Amino acid sequence: MLNDKTILITGGTGTFGKAFVRYVLEHYEPRKLIIYSRDEFKQFLMQNEFKQYQDKLRFFIGDVRDRERLPRAFEGVDYVIHAAAMKQVPACEYNPDEAIKTNIHGAQNVTAAALDAGVRKVVALSTDKAVNPVNLYGGTKLVSDKLFIAANAYAGKKETCFSIVRYGNVAGSRGSVIPFFKNILEQGGKELPITDYRMTRFWISITEGVELVIKALQESNGGETFISRIPSFKITDLAQAMLPGCEMPEVGIREGEKLHEIMVTEEDAPNTYEYDKHFIIFPQMTWNNRQMPNPDGKGKKVAEGFSYSSGNNSQWLSVEEIRERLSHLEEH
């Protein structure tokens, strides 16, 4: 599907962008990959990292806030992956106007540019924090998600369709618990602080995140939210996997933090279908016959009152399984 296609990635020099570019170049033969981002130094580093693919890559300086810049970048593009965002919770809380400009106005600009340029498919990255948000970052991503889904209403007879991919913190990503614990151990620490003993998280690798986006590109008809079925783990088990027998003082939950990562709420259940390796939340509203739920008939509608979070998951990693995954983990 991605062979001989031109694909643009907003925020393309970030963790996801680089992983997506590498995966596509290793598994497909795209016509061109356009890296759209605002940091020229990161683009310079990425150019050097991927210099063997220089004939396939184009680097485009730009900001999703810039409504005039995006149409030029989107010319001739088949698919857009929207990964640009302000993501750090404290940064969003202290700079709310900037978070709104990037996460909300940026979403508006991307959808408008994609419609005007005739882009075939747009997949936007979401987050568990957009579900029942308790912080500004989550709030802006909730609005962003709704904007991408509603953009299907503007497509009319155009082929352009918009969908969402939702997952939590990638294992080992910057700002997540694994590098936090690792830094303590590297400093000689003998105990690992736990904000709340009940806390759980999903385990998703960056490769699994990329593969979910590609699935969305392959299967989306407009308005869907794709969610991986992945295992959960307890933060206390992670601590024991990293430092067996360590003390784990409970220090209290942080501002804007949740006990569990929530992916599907009870309110989403009437529109949610279960597949072998993922869930799809179909849009409540449909704008043409492409948006009908479960179009291939392969999904099973979830039960009334169903919800899916890291706290009520049926798949759990043991301490030994966590330790095994840590041994193969790349930091991002």
The residues annotated as belonging to the active site are 129
The residue type of 301 is: K
In contact, 271 and 282? CB cutoff 8 Å: yes
The pair of structure tokens assigned to 315 is 């798949």
Ranges of H-type helices in the chain: 15-27, 40-49, 70-74, 89-94, 96-100, 106-117, 136-150, 152-155, 177-186, 206-219, 235-242, 319-327
DSSP β-bridge partners for residue 6 = 32
Quick count: other Cβ atoms within 10 Å of Cβ 197?
11
Phi first, then psi: what are they for 233, rounded to 5°? Answer: -145, 155
41-50: Cβ within 8 A, 24+ apart = 42/13, 43/13, 45/13, 46/12, 46/13, 46/18, 49/18, 50/21, 50/22, 50/25
3-state SS, residue 270? helix
DSSP notation for 176-198? SHHHHHHHHHHTT-SB--BS-TT
Cα gap 271→148, rounded to integer Å:
17
What is the residue-wise DSSP string for 141-179? Answer: HHHHHHHHHHTHHHHTTSS-EEEEEE--PPTT-TTSHHH
183 torsion bin: left (phi>0), alpha (psi -120 to 50), beta (else): alpha
